[in-house]
C-alpha cells in the first residue's frame, strides 16, 4: 500500500486534537469521518468547523491575502 492509496480517514474522538485532525484531513481532500461518544463534543467540533472555515474564506478568498496573491477562489477583475 502506498500513501496515495489512502482515500478515507476516520477519527475517533472529537476533542481538541480529534476535530482538528478531522478538519485538516477533509481540507486536504480525504473523505473524513469524526466520531465521539459525546454528542456535546461533536456539536462543539461542528461549531468550530463552521466558525473556522468562515474565517479562512474571509481571509484567503475575500480578504487582503486573496487579493494580493490572486489565489482566492474568486476572480478579482474589475467590473
pLDDT (average), residues 39-64? 80
Q: In the chain, where are the structural domains located? A: 3-64
CATH superfamily of 3-64: NAD(P)-binding Rossmann-like Domain (3.40.50.720)
pLDDT (average), residues 42-71? 75
pLDDT, residue 63, reads 63
pLDDT, residue 39, reads 92
Query: What whole-number distance in Å separates Cα of residue 66 and Cα of residue 42?
Result: 31
pLDDT, residue 69, reads 65
> b/e map of 1-23 (b: 16 or more CB within 10 Å)?
eeeeeeeebebebbeeebbbebb
pLDDT (average), residues 43-57? 84
pLDDT, residue 74, reads 47
Amino acid at each position: 500500500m502506498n500513501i496515495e492509496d489512502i482515500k478515507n480517514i476516520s477519527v475517533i474522538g472529537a476533542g481538541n486534537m480529534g476535530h482538528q485532525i478531522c478538519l485538516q484531513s477533509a481540507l486536504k481532500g480525504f473523505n473524513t469521518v469524526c466520531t465521539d461518544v459525546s454528542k456535546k463534543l461533536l456539536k462543539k467540533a461542528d461549531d468550530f468547523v463552521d466558525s473556522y472555515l468562515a474565517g479562512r474564506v474571509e481571509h484567503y478568498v475575500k480578504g487582503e491575502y486573496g487579493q494580493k496573491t490572486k489565489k482566492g477562489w474568486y476572480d478579482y477583475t474589475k467590473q
